[in-house]
Amino acid sequence: MNREQIRQLMQQVRDGELHPDEACERLRSLPFEDLGFAKIDHHRSLRRGFPEVVLAERKTPEQVARILQSLAAQSDLVIASRADEEHFRVVKAAIPEAEYHEEARIIRVGPIPDPVTDRRPVAVVTAGTSDIPVAEEAAVTLQVAGCPIERIYDVGVAGIHRLLEHHEQLLRASAIIVAAGMEGALASVVGGLVQSPVIAVPTSVGYGAAFEGLAALLGMLNSCASGVAVVNIDNGFGAGRFAAMICLGSAPVE
């Protein structure tokens, strides 16, 4: 339940359209609902401007379905990240309107809002094609938040001319997410070309010495380009939420 929904609820009580007892019943699960195995934070959208997101990884499909049912009863749009096809099969049976973003591994319940038209887009950039699943997790998170996005994929430093072809796109972005594995150098290159904040996402892509993303993480943390922030390995969702806050909090385009 978000601020606007609570405002509408109070308006209905004031206008006599809703009995106070019924309003109290609707607010019963605030600030959380205890399912026994999980405590659902229905208050999060009111506090943070974005509903609780379910991490499906290591939860059973039945647990994910019950949590999403609980959240969807209070919120118009909810998502579960790191979900596989079995998670989705069970969720779809319980919530027929659920949709699966396969590449992003996100289950969504509720319509994606139209992107705001008075903000500059967020550029979502990958070094290679193998980094796209992490980038798509960020991209879908941005779409759910209502941010305009532009995807720029497979422009890593091994062929730097591919990135330079998109220089104008990068310059007009409100924020730039860079997903890169191997040595993670692309974030520094992009950071040296633009004024916008760069959110670097190390991915677990690469051979043995990449240490499942640790090499890229350390490379990004040691970036010599200013204005580069780094999230955890494969954390496309975290990058997407951070970029959405920058995008939606920026000045409108005149």
pLDDT digits (tens, 9 = 90+) for 157-182: 999 999 999 999 999 999 999 999 99
Q: Flag whether pLDDT at 200 surpasses 70.
A: yes
The structural domains of the chain, ordered by start, are 3-109 (no CATH), 122-249 (3.40.50.1970)
Q: Flag whether pLDDT at 29 surpasses 60.
A: no
Inter-CA distances, 182 with 124, 157, 164, 233, 252, Å: 18, 11, 20, 12, 37
Residue 155, amino acid: V
Confidence of residue 26 (pLDDT cuts 50, 70, 90): low
Reading the block at residue 13, the tokens are 């009580």
- Give the residue-averaged pLDDT of 67-87: 90
Residue 37, amino acid: F
- Which H/E stretch holds residue 122? strand 122-126
Reading the block at residue 165, the tokens are 């072809």
Closest CA to 55 of 113, 137, 143: 137
Query: How does the average pLDDT of the chain come out, rounded?
Result: 89
